[in-house]
Structures are given as C-alpha cells and as structure tokens.
Amino acid sequence: MFGLVRIHQHELGLHFRHGDFHGLLRPGRHRFLSRLYSLTRDRVEIVSTLQTRFTHALLDVLAQRPDVREVLLILDLSDVERALVFKDDRLEAVCGPGRHAFFRTPYTLRVETYNINEFRFEHPQLETVLAHPEAGRHLHGVEVQPHQEAVLFRDGKQVGRLAEGRHVFFKGTGRIEVKAVDRREQVADVAGQEIMTADKVTLRVNLLVTYQVVDVLAALTVVADHAQALYREAQLALRAAVNGRTLDALLADKSVVGNEVRETLAERVKTFGVAVRSVGLRDLILPGDMKAILNQVIEAEKQAEANLIRRREETAAARSQANTARLLAENPALARIKELEALQEILAGAKAQFVFGSGDLITQLRGLIQRDKADDG
C-alpha cells in the first residue's frame, strides 16, 4: 500500500511526475501511498552532493524552484563574464558563459567573478588556476624570458609592453597576440654568396654579422621579420662592396671590405630598430682553376724575390772582397797579418814543426811545397 524511497545524508532526490519536476526530496525516508505513487508516472532521481558540480538536462527548469536554489549555488554568467569556483579554498571549476550549478553542502563554496573586458587576468594563485583542466578553454598565458622584451597587440593594435614573467589573458576578448624579441646580441652567418669581382673573378664569400635589436617596436612593425631583413640587406651590401674591387684588392685587405659593409649595413638596418655591432669576412673561396693559377703567380713572385735577394747578396760579397784587396794593397803590414792568419788556419791541428829562414814567408812555403812534390816524383 506504500512506496518507500530512502535518501542518504549525502544525497538529494528529484521527484518527477509525468516528466515534470514535482519536488525535492531531502535526506531521510519518504513514503508514498500506492495510489499516489506509481512507477509508471513517478520517477525519483537520486543525486550525490559529493559531486560538487550539478548538471542536469532540466537545470533551467529546476533553477526556478526556491527549494532547489536553497541547496544549489546557481551561477548565471553573461558572454563577458568568467568565474572561478573554490571548494574549501581549492579551485573546483573555471566557468564560462552560461548557467552553472554547485551543491552548497557538504563543502564551503566561494566564487570569484571577472569581466573579460579587462582582458588581463591576474590572480595570487595564478599557477594553480592555469594548471586546472578547464583553464585552457578560457585563459591564454605567455612567458616572457629575462632576455626578451614583448609587445602586446589586441586586434592588431599595440596596447602595451610586457616585462619578464608570466602574463595571462582572457580568451574571447578579441585577437590577442604577444610578440617577443630577443634583446641579446645575435649572429647572422651570411654563407655561400657567389659574387663576381671587378676583374670578372667569381668568388664565394662568407660574411659574419653581429647585431642587436635596440628598438623592439620598430623591429616588430616596420618589417615582418627583422632577422631575415638584416640577412637580405647584408647580402646586398656585401655584393656591392665586392663588385667594386679586384681580386688583388680583396686579398690584400679583407678588413676594408668588412668596414665598408658594416657602414652600409648599419645605416640600412637602423630603420627597423637593429644596430650592427661588427662585420667580418670569414672566408674568400676561389674556384679550383683560379686557385691553381693564383698559386703559380705567388710561386713566381716568391722565386723572383729570392733571385733578387741572391743577386743582391752576391754583389755585396764582391764589393766586400774588392774593398779588402784594396786595403791589403795599400797596407803591407795588414797583408802580412792576413798571411799569418791564413797560415794559422792551414796548420790548425797539425803536429808538424817548421823552421823558416829569412825572406818572404809565402816564398818559403812555396819552396817547401815544390821540394815536397819533387821528392814524391
């Protein structure tokens, strides 16, 4: 004769009759007379309040009932509103536009509501909010490194600059774009440029450019890509410098070309916020046949230099001998000393003893040598 429905302490019952919501059943035992309760017309849905967020296909209907609003926290968010729901000071949900419902018990709920027209989102528990699975649907975060400077654009218009750190913005507030530029010194390697010199020799030149962004806004707005723009300008400046010189001039002093490229390049890249710190020609690569010819030229030049030095030394030696002969002829005593020095060198290390008589020493030596030859004969 009776129908019995038991609702536990952590549960609530939703009583529907003929598909329409009839009433809310709180924890306890509920009896219905059989003539008043029929399984064909009555239905009780039991929901757990431990599941903090309450979802139901008829939520919009249920939210109109005062008894339901007593047990549910209802959030009605407009298109420009977002909400954070905390359960016992722990982030439970990140809510977007629409109607959301949460059971008021057995937890303590706290709601923070934001207007996304203030498109920047700031919160003392920012990392916790971003780590929530629902945050990515409503929030967009960017990280600016210490060596970077970032510019914030909204719908293509600059609205501010961002310091280092994490910055978060609401989605759905227009096209938000953050462009960061590295403020450290950068190196551009302009490699493998084939250029013809003034004397029609084709070279492959490698250029090294060190640069730094000094005006971030100009680097982002004047050109699409400041690094590519600098690379292109470096190519043009290098080509102009090499085309106006012969191969010999290039090989004689590469630093002159580097300085010319630096001056030209610095003036061009200044318009889009870049400063050139240094420019250097790293390599000049000649074609194979030109390299062989150049080696032959260098070899011939060095051989000619060696011959010139050899002739110069021979001339100096002959001049020295002529001067010595003139001194000996003009000074008999000096000639005598030279004779004794020559004799000392001849007899160096010999054990023979010689006794000389009077007369010229050279004449006596000649006589001894002739006598020795006669004895041998």
Kindly indicate the confidence band of residue 196, based on its pLDDT and cuts at 50, 70 and 90.
confident
Q: Which residue has the higher pLDDT, 176 or 86?
A: 86
Confidence of residue 46 (pLDDT cuts 50, 70, 90): very high
Pairwise CA distance, residues 290 & 286, whole Å: 6
- The string of DSSP letters for 203-268 reads EEEEEEEEEEES-HHHHHHTSS-HHHHHHHHHHHHHHHHHHTS-HHHHHH-HHHHHHHHHHHHHHH
The band of 81, judged by pLDDT with boundaries at 50, 70 and 90, is very high
- Structural element, H or E, at residue 160: strand 157-162
The candidate with the shortest Cα–Cα distance to 69, out of 102, 47, 41, 45, is 102
Provide the whole-model pTM. 0.62
Q: Which CATH number fits domain 186-286: 3.30.479.30, 3.90.230.10, 3.40.50.720, 3.40.50.300?
A: 3.30.479.30
Name the more confident of 70 and 375.
70
Tell me: the pLDDT tens digits for 179-190? 999 999 999 988
- pLDDT score, position 71: 94
For the chain, what are the domain ranges?
Answer: 186-286, 295-330, 333-377
Q: What is the pLDDT of residues 98-133, one digit of tens each?
A: 999 999 989 999 999 999 998 899 999 999 999 999
Amino acid letter, 193: Q
The rounded radius of gyration (Å) of the Cα atoms in the chain is 51
CB 50 within 8 A of CB 18: no
Residue 262 burial (CB < 10 Å; 0-12/13-18/19+)? buried
Q: Which pair of tokens denotes residue 125?
A: 């528990």
- Residue-level pLDDT at 108: 94
